[in-house]
Chains A and B, each alone.
Chain A
Amino acid sequence: AQSVAQPEDQVNVAEGNPLTVKCTYSVSGNPYLFWYVQYPNRGLQFLLKYITGDNLVKGSYGFEAEFNKSQTSFHLKKPSALVSDSALYFCAVRDKDAGNMLTFGGGTRLMVKP
């Protein structure tokens, strides 16, 4: 079975400061990892993914995430937060050897204050 944990329900950060949204995962095989963002009354938008290769992946809107196999983590980061980054963020995992099923974490609400 695969699972994802996002330990923080909400993250508060001041505009211009760096932000981190945490994610840890559990799969029996090799993971494919994803971050999605959901703005109010909107569907999910794809931000970035880790499939293979470099552990640091860069995505949309200046976001990046680092795959850490030993810690089974895939934290989302951004060097300088914007108020417009305020949204709900979901981490998701797919077991490479177990089909196409995506399992989502519980979500983290990011609040960026001016």
Chain B
Amino acid sequence: SAVISQKPSRDICQRGTSLTIQCQVDSQVTMMFWYRQQPGQSLTLIATANQGSEATYESGFVIDKFPISRPNLTFSTLTVSNMSPEDSSIYLCSVSSGNYEQYFGPGTRLTVT
């Protein structure tokens, strides 16, 4: 299984600012995923990030709000831009393995005041 780390683990931010979340994997992976888990709710896929190409965003998520970088096969960043209290969530990075499983990072707990 892959070991995934995320930075920061949590943050409290003011509305209107931006936060960049980092995701580091201990092995090279083709596909990385970013999810959002709003308080008391399930996980929603924000986008899929492949190295060397633009991220693919799910319905309801746009690049201007959630720009993603994928500079190499072990690293990705998600930026939450122009934040509002509605962006308060846990943001999780995930990677897929060759045996159909997905592994998740510990998450970044974001609170917007």
Contact = CB atoms under 8 A, between A and B. Distances in A.
Do the two chains belong together in a single complex?
A: yes
Interface of A: 32, 34, 36, 41-46, 49, 51, 90, 94, 100-102, 104-107
B57 interface: no
Given A100-B31, A100-B48, A100-B96, A44 B42 contact: no
Contacts of A32: 100
A44 B101 CA distance: 12
Contacts of A90: 42-43
Interface residues of B, number: 21
Contacts, number: 44
Interface in B64-113: 92, 96, 100-107, 109
A104 B104 contact: no
A107 B37 CA distance: 11
A29 to B, nearest CB: 14
B13 interface: no
B19 interface: no
B92 A43 contact: yes
A20 B91 CA distance: 29
Nearest to B30: A100
Contacts of B43: 44, 90, 104
B99 to A, nearest CB: 8
Contacts of A36: 104
Interface string B29-69: 00101000000011111001000000000000000000000
B92 to A, nearest CB: 6
Contacts of B102: 34, 46, 102
B1 interface: yes
B71 to A, nearest CB: 21
A34 to B, nearest CB: 7
Contact of B106 (A43, A49, A104): A43
Contacts of A44: 43, 92, 104
B42 A106 contact: yes
